[in-house]
Amino acid sequence: MTVLEPFGARLRRAMDERGPLCVGIDPHASLLTAWGLNDDIVGLERFSRTVVEALAGRVAVLKPQSAFFERFGSRGIAVLEKSVEEARAAGALVVMDAKRGDIGSTMAAYAETFLRKDSPLFSDALTVSPYLGYGSLKPAVDLARESGAGLFVLALTSNPEGGEVQHAVRPDAAGRNVGATMLAHLAEENAGTTPMGSFGAVVGATLGDLSSYDLDINGPLLAPGIGAQGATPADLPGTFGTAVRNVVPNVSRGVLRHGPDLVALREVAEGYAEEIRAAVAAA
């Protein structure tokens, strides 16, 4: 198996060269309709192909949401495989948004699906859920290291329901809440890595001041919430503080609603990337 340069190094370079932006590939039924497409496999394929054609050669990261492909069964998975292949061939890094989490051999099987280099769904990174315990992610951590891929671990998500788990305080000497514990684990994974570790956290851009958390994990912070959810590029320094340079803001509907026009998709994505770059530079 050919081993890639570590994901953190590849991501740092892509962010520096193309701008720190991740665009979701989220074929909601409502978006398909807005694009004049049917909510069927033909519409899914056309939507995905258009997003990849418009953006894969320009943005640092594309993030397909696996669920919107899975709902079409095996034919939808085939479209996802093709989208991942074509996006990576055009130079974008692909973060598979599948939020997998399980234990033992089942977690290992999820890891092999998305992180084994010869898998048809191999992605540069995978979103994972640690809420069966951080240690349950070990098969994914190990395979990501082996293959040069990365992980984004759910830590402080932007959905209101997340707080009942992520803000719960653990009964240990550190007195940290669960979200902070996940960040601490990731800092350990990334310790001593340059220019940036490959094990990141998902931290919502809509959460406001996060200065009570140590976000300097020496790894990327995938930050959903820019655009339709209300956060702006100008909010990033205030939310992420000294870790802002490692933030990968995710925009989905804010870009995708401008399709299916290729030029419009490119212009809006490039506009977001420049706004984010300027906000980070001014921090």
What residues are labeled active site?
99
**Nearest alpha carbon to residue 211 among 176, 239, 183, 182:** 239
Q: CA 274 to CA 261: how far, in whole Å?
A: 20
SS (H, E, C) 206-268: CCCCCCCCCCCCCCCEEEECECCCCECHHHHHHHHHHHHHHEEEEECHHHHCCCCCHHHHHHH
108 is written with which tokens? 């290992």
CB 85 within 8 A of CB 44: no
